[in-house]
Structure 1
Amino acid sequence: MRTTQNFDTGKLIESVPNFLSSYTNVNGTKLHYLTGGKGETLILIPGYPETWWAYHKIMPALAENYQVIVVEMRGMGQSDKPMDGYDKKNMAKDVYELVTNLGLRKVHIAGHDIGAHVAYSFAVNYPDKTSKLIMLDTPHPDAGMYNLPMLPILGADYVYPWWLAFNQVKELPEQLLEGKMNVVIDWLFDNLLKNPNSMTTFDRAVYTSAYNDKNAIRASNAWYQTIPQDIEDSKTYSKLNLPVLGIGGSGFEMLKMWLPNVATDFKVEKIADCGHFILSEKPNETAELIIDFLR
């Protein structure tokens, strides 16, 4: 078993210049977030199995022209890990109350992976608070997820998403994986990146440290266990009229099929030769697309 390294959040933040760490109580839970830069506000939400560190390569570039707020959603990193409230509509309410607490009138919002689910839910439930939405490699859950193959397809170049089903199981994953989350984290990065070396040993250790105890595993799995509710909520949403950008590596085709169903003003950009973790693998290209869209 790999020895788990504990990381001081303050020391990590010191490696990203001019960002400050803060906490706020919202919607019955405590959120951790980082703030840096000046200008219009851009909220960034990470996904599984990452933390705010997912954005560390692009935070300084974005902060040159925007007030960047990186939010660790409920169940992630230094934020609280309550027993419930993990449907994305409720997690969007967490972000809404953060925006309200900070006195922000309108924000741009971006999310990757599960964070993209929350970002979309924020935009569709609080359009008056949203200027532009950016979906990074992942659409929000809809009924089409029930058609995802859970078994390998013979001869197909396809990484079947077994973890979507595994994370639905309550109590068992944390019993199996406490102290060994590096096994899952390494597998995901090795198989969902075109260049696994773009996720360094240090990066992997940061994420392993964040997910290695029972509470963290339980809470992060709860993001998946609420997907059936997220799908039902999606059936009630109207099309977005605000500008939406989808940026996809391996998720490009999914975004391309999904966005016409949920938005009237959208575009989709493909990052070539890139897997799912575009922030790690192609940070410069991702940052440039975000900046061009917001500009």
Structure 2
Amino acid sequence: MKTLFRWLAATALATTLAGAVHAQALTYPKAFTFREVATNGTTIHVRQAGTGPAVVLLHGYGETGDMWVPLATELARDHTVVVPDLRGLGRSAKPKGGFDKMNQAGDVAGVLDALKIEQADVVAHDIGNMVAFAFAAKYPQRVGRLVVIDAPVPGVGPWDEILKNPLLWHFRFGGPDMERLVAGRERIYLDRFWNEFSATPARFSEPARQHYAKLYALPGAMHSGFSQFAAFDQDAIDNRAWLAAGNQLKMPVLALGGEKSFGLVMAAVMRNAATDVREGVVPGSGHWIMEENPQATVALVTGFLGEKR
């Protein structure tokens, strides 16, 4: 009987996710609440739902916490799910500075403090990986498990070689003149990322593109985005100093890469900084794992977080 109930629940979930995937909905279910958390010199927009062990979902550039709707919806069945927008992005405030990732680790800590959460699993993508790594390095006792998805971490492993990839020219693109060039053309600029970093660009839907382009056109949003990249040099210095002191992440780490993007390179990178690294690949996906193959991403992440402790 229990097996039947599990099968029925899984079937219902698959149907729900399939519908969400088809529509690429970016709206959270009514069970989620929204709040603004003042912390660390800024204000972070946070979504929350569910009860049970806590999990924090951190987005990357070109998206916001809205990217996590399918995963957050599934996890909220038996977790307390916390989904912030990173400093300066989405619906969070747009401060002038503080974008180095060790400082943003303080943003995450402040959000958890406000929600009275001592420890959480952390799932991250893109620049969210860098914030998650800093948070795990700075507050290791507060991270149960860590998932990093399809983006390198400054100063860790082959970082200098990765920087030579011409596709990553945007890491050095920023400053007042660049902001003027992009102003009013945010959609054109972001389309470049959504197209070139996808295995199948059509899977990043038109409604999703419109949604994110509108958020990145908010006053201060592109400045914040450029500032996230501009902080990479400091992030690399901070992470190398942490590693040079003999530190390693000790919590279990799942390193996922898109099959048509970082793939197993993610695990190779993380083995330079963590002692317990599992590897995984999101099949048929480029960089935008929640748009290109959300079903596989949800299955891989929930399977790892659900392992016996």
TM-score, structure 1 normalization? 0.89
Could you report, residue by residue, the CA deviation over 1:157-183 in whole angstroms, capped at 9, with x for unpaired residues? xxx2121122xx311221011111110
On the 8 A contact 2:55/2:120 being kept in 1, the answer is yes
Could you report, residue by residue, the CA deviation over 1:133-177 in whole angstroms, capped at 9, with x for unpaired residues? 11011231116433346575xxxxxxx2121122xx311221011
On the 8 A contact 2:150/2:266 being kept in 1, the answer is yes
On the 8 A contact 1:27/1:97 being kept in 2, the answer is yes
On the 8 A contact 2:87/2:93 being kept in 1, the answer is yes
Could you report, residue by residue, the CA deviation over 1:53-83 in whole angstroms, capped at 9, with x for unpaired residues? 1112322112112111111010111111111
Whether 1:165 aligns to 2:209 is no
Residue 145 of structure 1 aligns with an amino acid whose one-letter code is: W
What does residue range 144-163 of structure 1 map to in structure 2 within 5 Å? 144-148=158-162, 160-163=167-170
CA distance in 2, matches of 1:13, 1:36: 16
CA distance in 1, matches of 2:221, 2:91: 10
Tell me how far 1:214 sits from its aligned partner.
Answer: 5.0
Whether 1:92 aligns to 2:92 is no
CA distance in 2, matches of 1:27, 1:137: 28
Residue 257 of structure 2 aligns with an amino acid whose one-letter code is: G
Tell me how far 1:286 sits from its aligned partner.
Answer: 0.7
Could you report, residue by residue, the CA deviation over 1:217-276 in whole angstroms, capped at 9, with x for unpaired residues? 111110000100000011122101111111110122431221111111111101122100
Residue 244 of structure 1 aligns with an amino acid whose one-letter code is: V
On the 8 A contact 2:48/2:80 being kept in 1, the answer is yes
Q: 2:70 is matched with which residue? A: 57
CA distance in 2, matches of 1:256, 1:130: 19
Q: 1:257 is matched with which residue? A: 268
Tell me how far 1:115 sits from its aligned partner.
Answer: 0.7
Q: 2:91 is matched with which residue? A: 78
Q: 1:183 is matched with which residue? A: 188
CA distance in 2, matches of 1:181, 1:150: 25
Of residues 253-262 and 13-22 in structure 1, the stretch that sits farther from structure 2 once superposed is 13-22
Alignment length (residue pairs): 275
Whether 1:243 aligns to 2:256 is no
Helix, strand or coil at the partner of 1:235: helix
On the 8 A contact 1:57/1:283 being kept in 2, the answer is yes
Alignment gaps of 5+ in structure 2: 1-24
For residues 149 and 26 of structure 1, do their structure 2 counterparts lie closer, same or farther at Cα, with a shift above 3 Å needed? closer
Helix, strand or coil at the partner of 1:58: helix
Residue 98 of structure 1 aligns with an amino acid whose one-letter code is: V
On the 8 A contact 1:20/1:35 being kept in 2, the answer is yes
Could you report, residue by residue, the CA deviation over 1:21-66 in whole angstroms, capped at 9, with x for unpaired residues? 1111011110001011221111001100111111123221121121
* CA RMSD in angstroms, aligned pairs only: 1.7
For residues 151 and 47 of structure 1, do their structure 2 counterparts lie closer, same or farther at Cα, with a shift above 3 Å needed? closer
CA distance in 1, matches of 2:135, 2:256: 18
On the 8 A contact 1:211/1:217 being kept in 2, the answer is yes
TM-score, structure 2 normalization? 0.85
What does residue range 123-162 of structure 1 map to in structure 2 within 5 Å? 123-142=136-155, 144-148=158-162, 160-162=167-169
What does residue range 151-230 of structure 1 map to in structure 2 within 5 Å? 160-166=167-173, 169-230=174-235
On the 8 A contact 1:108/1:133 being kept in 2, the answer is yes
Q: Give every structure 1 segment of 4 or more consecutive aligned residues whose post-TM-superposition deviation is greater than 2 Å.
A: 12-17, 143-152
For residues 149 and 115 of structure 1, do their structure 2 counterparts lie closer, same or farther at Cα, with a shift above 3 Å needed? closer
Alignment gaps of 5+ in structure 1: 1-11, 153-159
